[in-house]
Amino acid sequence: MEFQTKIGKSEPDKIFVHGYNLTEDLIGNITLADMAFLGAKHRKPTEKESKMLNALLVAICEHGFTPSSISTRLTYLGAPESVQSAVAAGLLGAGTVYLGAMEYVAEMLHHAFEKYGEGYPIEELASLIIQERKENNQQLPGFGHPIHKPEDPRTGKLFEIAEDLGFYGKNSKLLVEIHRQFCEQKGKTITLNAVGAIGAIMADMEIDYRVVKSFAVASRAVGLVAHIVEEIELGRKNSVGQEIFDYIEHHTDYKGKVETQKS
């Protein structure tokens, strides 16, 4: 049986990736984010696409202590010989709360335009989306943040770059209008978070919503390396992973419940 792929091909003295000569066309000429774009779109990005995508991936690469970084540190504590397992552990939680919302935002916007058409007034389309999700008991993805309130500092910056580069399109405008109406209905400002903005911008870059989250996973994988490095530098005894483990061990009763410290 012969298997076929257009992604990569090797010859004795040449390697081709998506039709490009790896050593002559790609190495030293494009970034890692550009390679991700190449895989998704089957072509090298333009200068503006490259700048936009790199900005998006940098925005979500690192965010301090999150479930993903804690999972990575704890896994490295138990298996320091397997850094790939530690990174993988940190990526497994990319779901509805962390990182995954960018995919769900892109999907929501895609289906809205697919159902109602691009000529539908943005204000009415936003209202329909909010109402439909409310009737179906579905949350609006891309809203809320445990720390950044009332604004996520990354959101405005990313939209600013998108506007400068020509990627502040129908999807971004629709999400911003959804945000406006949602806040109006709630009577308070609800954070439009960075991953929500990224989902809309990537949709405006015409990246298939089904692979949008994979870009987040790739970006966070890069960030998790720093957490492993810090664990190495601290040493096993003083590592954050060890401190977390010791805390749980010393504050857990015989029933397995973690005791809360009284103030």
Give the C-alpha separation, 158 to 16, whole Å: 33
Give the C-alpha separation, 203 to 187, whole Å: 29
pLDDT of residue 2: 80
What band does 258 get if pLDDT is binned at 50, 70 and 90?
Answer: low
What band does 58 get if pLDDT is binned at 50, 70 and 90?
Answer: very high
What is the three-state SS of 17-42?
ECCEEHHHHHCCCCCHHHHHHHHHHC
Asked if 201 and 152 touch (Cβ cutoff 8 Å), the reply is no
pLDDT tens string 143-191: 998 889 999 999 999 999 999 999 999 999 999 999 999 999 999 999 9
**What are the start-end ranges of the E strands in the chain?**
8-11, 14-17, 20-21
Tell me which of 186 and 93 has the higher pLDDT: 186
Give the C-alpha separation, 229 to 45, whole Å: 32
Give the C-alpha separation, 156 to 159, whole Å: 5
pLDDT of residue 6: 87
- Does the pLDDT of residue 252 top 90, yes or no? no
φ and ψ at residue 125, rounded to 5 degrees: -65, -40
Average pLDDT over residues 181-206: 97
Could you count the other beta carbons within 10 Å of the beta carbon of residue 254?
A: 5
Give the C-alpha separation, 50 to 153, whole Å: 22
pLDDT tens string 216-247: 999 999 999 999 999 999 999 999 999 999 99
Give the C-alpha separation, 207 to 211, whole Å: 8
- Does the pLDDT of residue 262 top 60, yes or no? no
pLDDT of residue 248: 87
pLDDT tens string 2-41: 888 989 999 999 999 999 999 999 999 999 999 999 999 9
pLDDT of residue 263: 40
Asked if 228 and 72 touch (Cβ cutoff 8 Å), the reply is yes
pLDDT of residue 260: 58
- Does the pLDDT of residue 138 top 90, yes or no? yes
Structural domains in the chain, CATH included, are 1-45 (no CATH), 100-207 (1.10.230.10)
- Does the pLDDT of residue 89 top 60, yes or no? yes
Give the C-alpha separation, 61 to 131, whole Å: 33
